[in-house]
Structure 1
Amino acid sequence: MISGAVAVWKALPTAQRRMIAALLAAVALANIAQPYPDLAPLQHGPTILLLVAAPWLLRRWPLSTRAMAGIALFLALHTLGARYIYSYVPYDDWARALIGHDLSSLLGWTRNGYDRLVHFGFGALLTLPLAEGLRRHAGMSARTALTVAFAFIGLGSALYEIFEWLLTVIAAGETADYYNGQQGDVWDAQKDMAIAQLGSALAVTIALVARRRAPYS
């Protein structure tokens, strides 16, 4: 079994192996002196499972290294947000250390906006890998694959918001609120879905413009 796992791992392109290893290291680093240990399993558990399964998934449904890079960047953004359960990513502290001013004051933000960035990244970074997978493994044309990938982003966003709602119903109130990261915004779910769809629309637009100059691959 171990030799089989090693063979599957070695069969991956070197760049993809490095991405998976780097992400596993990032998850490990994100859990050093974890500030929210009660919520860490919920935040990081799915990422770990996906990364462990990734060699077998990529063997069954191969993707280009470019597509894998989009997925890896999204997971890296998520891993950083997950360390601080999204609502408490200290980007204002980091900005003050770098430029002497916090971003919230400069941009007029009244809430922690890191979760919005990751929802945007969900659409912007995963649409093209989804489209590539649909073209490679479902035999779709490039335009059809982009359309279906755009729809999948909307579906994925909606299912995730439903999951958060179910967590709110099942989990303790305070814990659920920390995990959901609504920060008092009653329209948080709708805004998250909208910005993910905006990111996906941007990715589709870029792909279509690129196709006018050269075939999309």
Structure 2
Amino acid sequence: MTASRPVYLPVGVFLLALLLVVTGIATASKLTWLMEVLPVLIIVPILWATARRYPLTPMLYVLIFFHAIILIVGGMYSYARVPLGFEVQEWFHLSRNPYDKLGHLFQGLVPALAAREVLIRGGFVNGSKMLAFVVCCIALAISAFYELIEWWVALILGQGADEFLGTQGDPWDTQSDMLCALLGAMISVFILGRWHSKQIKAL
């Protein structure tokens, strides 16, 4: 028997669709916006289509929702110009807008949690230590592949890729992005792990 979709999923999808429409209209650079929100346009329909036969934990759905918001807002302004990032930059006297680091933190946290869920539910990995190691490796692999995508886009678009890359002149941007992703993966394993495991058992 096919299960029904979680009641909160249609609400989340509607809110994200509304935000996509608003930001798509308001953004100054449609190409940059499209490149930044493309993961949302791919993942959300997949989650909707698979929600009946393979529902995810509420925690994972919620974190995916917030990650999508981060991507959409970043796409609207370009990450280097998000107003909230300028506020944080001023509060902590930083040399650059740090909003993109929040995105990369979630880029590690959400895929790590998703990988953890799939591995546990499928019984693919035995032992909590090996599970933590594999999950962090998967998150880092995804982060590294995304950095490769940024490089390929830069080669294709040339100067037009500056808004998408958002390095803000930081020569260590790639390395710090991957560090943030690793930190996000470690949060999913060591801080959210027990709570996540309880939700998996409840499915």
Superposition TM-score tier, normalisation by shorter sequence: 0.7 to 0.9
The number of aligned residues is 197
Which ranges in structure 1 are unaligned for 5 or more consecutive residues?
Answer: 1-7, 94-101
Q: Compare CA radii of gyration and give the structure with the larger one.
A: 1
- Once the two structures are superposed, residues 40-86 of structure 1 have per-residue CA deviations (whole angstroms, 9 ceiling, x without a partner) of 22122331232223222334532122221111111111111111121
Give percent identity, aligned residues only: 26
In structure 2, the partner of 1:183 is: 168
The 5 A counterparts of 1:137-148 are 137-141=122-126, 143=128, 144-148=130-134
When residues 106 and 156 of structure 1 are mapped into structure 2, their CA distance, relative to the original with a 3 A threshold, is: same
Give the C-alpha shift of residue 36 in structure 1: 1.4
Task: Work out whether 1:30 is the aligned partner of 2:23.
Answer: yes
Contact kept? 1:132, 1:145, Cα under 8 Å: no
Structure 1 outlier segments of 4+, above 4 Å: none
> Which has the higher relative contact order, 1 or 2, with Cα contacts under 8 A spaced 6 or more apart?
2
The correspondence for 1:197, drawn from 162, 167, 182, is 182
How far apart are the structure 2 equivalents of 1:92 and 1:133? Answer: 33
Q: Give the CA deviation at 1:151.
A: 1.1
Q: Does 1:79 align with 2:64?
A: no
Q: Which runs of 5+ in 2 are unaligned?
A: none
Alignment TM-score, normalising by the size of structure 2: 0.85
Q: Which stretch shows the higher mean deviation, 12-21 or 36-45?
A: 36-45
Q: 1:216 to 1:68 in 2, by over 3 A?
A: closer
Q: Give the deviation of 1:92 after TM superposition.
A: 5.9
Match of 1:58 among 42, 51, 59: 51
* 2:56 counterpart SS class: coil
Residues 135, 142 of structure 1: 8 Å contact kept = no
Q: Which amino acid aligns with 2:19?
A: A
SS of 1:186's equivalent?
Answer: coil
CA deviation map 1:75-107 (0-9, x unaligned)? 1111111111211111267xxxxxxxx432331
The answer to which of 33-42 and 109-118 deviates more is: 33-42
Are the aligned partners of 1:122 and 1:196 in contact in 2 as well (CA < 8 Å)? yes
Give the alignment partner of residue 109 of structure 2, picking from 115, 124, 128.
124
Paired with 1:202 and 1:54, the residues of 2 have a C-alpha distance of 23
Q: Report deviation, 1:122.
A: 1.9
2:145 alignment counterpart: 159
* Deviation by residue 1:140-175 (Cα, 9 ceiling, x = unmatched): 34724433221111000000000101111111x221
Q: Which moved more, 1:81-90 or 1:159-168?
A: 81-90
What is the root-mean-square deviation in Å for CA atoms of aligned residues?
2.5
